[in-house]
Amino acid sequence: MVKGFLFLDVGVKIMEDTEFFNTKEWYLGRNVAKWVNCFEPKNIGKLVQKREFEIRDRIERDMTNLFTLCFLNPGIEWYDWATTESKTAELEDFYSWSNIQIIKERVKNMPYKDFLNTLYWDLVRTIKKENVNYKCELCNCSHSLAVHHKTYENHGDEYHHMDDLIVLCSNCHAKFHDKFVEAE
């Protein structure tokens, strides 16, 4: 009869002959290997799946914290040599492993002035301006441009919702805010 076990700290499945091991639990240093009957592959699958989930969950938590530290920390600046492409690749790497809902919540809890001074907003603002060729989306002028939220529904996840942003010159931006104040 063949049995398998899982090193729970690294999620690696190893198969061994039960004649060599005669106990249900095997201690190897600080690792506890749990035996699973290989004739019931669903048991192995459940343990592997559970461990993979735990690893993904830990990576997601750590990457979300790193995202917050690196991209949502006001006052941190990009290296001079960093291009929009390299910044975008860096952001996408962090984003792919992070919990977007937690990031959105952290952004919503930040003072808005601090948010405007983050690497995240700097990159989103640059990408949006590049997408519209550095022109106001209302009057087509190219001076004193600002990136404005149409709504704050996707605040903290603007990168995935660029359509919720608009590039405006200072004159159109002022008009936009005047209309918003009048509507209230």
**Tens-digit pLDDT profile for residues 97-151:** 889 999 999 999 999 999 999 999 999 999 999 999 999 999 999 999 999 999 9
pTM for this entry: 0.67
Domain assignments of the chain as residue spans, ordered by start: 40-183
Q: Are 148 and 128 in contact (CB under 8 A)?
A: no
- The Cα–Cα gap between 117 and 184 comes to 28
35-66: per-residue pLDDT in tens?
Answer: 444 444 455 556 556 677 777 788 888 888 88
Which one, of 78, 4, 15, lies nearest residue 44 by Cα? 4
Reported as a pLDDT band with limits 50, 70 and 90, residue 76 is confident
